[in-house]
Amino acid sequence: MQPVILDQGPGTETAAGPAGTSRRPGRPRSEQAEQAIIEATLDLFAEQGFEGVCVEAVAARAGVGKATIYRRWPNKEELLLAALGSMKSPMPEPTGSVRDDLVAHLTVICADKADPRKARRYALLLGEGQKYPRLMARYKENVVKPRHEAIRAVIRRGIETGELRQDTDVEVALLALTGAVMARERSEGSLDADFATRVVDGLLLGLAAAPR
């Protein structure tokens, strides 16, 4: 990883040109630094576990000053939480179709599970997490729970609009969707958009409201 050099003093040359020239304001360098910090944190975590992650080591690997990290995250726990949360891709915005939204959500989950690098880091998180119950609890609350809630919201909307049966058990439907992905992962089967579509369509066979 190429280091990101920040906080250059007067007279140094920047990416925008030599000192003395105008530099367009914006966030690109800040975002680049943040990404470098997140990647450095995840790399150290993958190599040495939780104990290997410290602000000094992250700063050295990312090529930034410790102050740059502390401006964004006040302590190691917040930094780790942000880095671990970045392993999950953003959930898609709703389209209005229950089927399409469930397929889109499950496709994102499948893609994350199918990514070897993310899968290794997540396996390490589960293994190491038992030693750090507070961090794991915050990870579940801040990262896992909102993703599950997004799926619940789609299912609830389907019940309200009449696309799904009124007696649909939201929690069972959620577990059926996410559980299918976990079972597929353990069996080392393909985790792609086609599998996500098949899971959703199979579930909807039982949950879809009867046509009027």
175 assigned to some structural domain: yes
103 assigned to some structural domain: yes
Q: What does each of the 212 residues of the chain score in pLDDT, given as a tens digit?
A: 433 333 333 333 333 443 343 444 444 568 899 999 999 999 999 898 888 899 999 999 999 999 999 999 999 999 999 999 999 999 999 998 999 999 999 999 999 999 998 888 888 888 888 888 999 999 999 999 999 999 999 999 999 999 999 999 999 999 999 999 999 988 888 999 999 999 999 999 988 776 65
Task: Pick the closest to residue 157 from 75, 101, 83, 91 (CA basis).
Answer: 101
For the chain, the domain total comes to 2
Domain span at residue 111 reads 98-207
C-alpha separations of 5 from 8, 39, 179 in Å: 7, 15, 44
How far apart CA 13 and CA 33 sit, in angstroms, is 17
Give the CA angle between residues 178, 187, 146 to the nearest 5°: 20
Q: Do 5 and 37 fall into the same domain?
A: yes
CATH number of the domain to which 163 belongs: 1.10.357.10
pTM for the full predicted model: 0.78
Looking at the chain, how many residues does it have? 212
Q: Do 106 and 203 fall into the same domain?
A: yes
Q: Do 64 and 103 fall into the same domain?
A: no
Helices (H), 49-144: 55-62, 66-72, 76-85, 98-114, 116-129, 133-139
Which of 44, 59, 83 is a domain's end point?
83
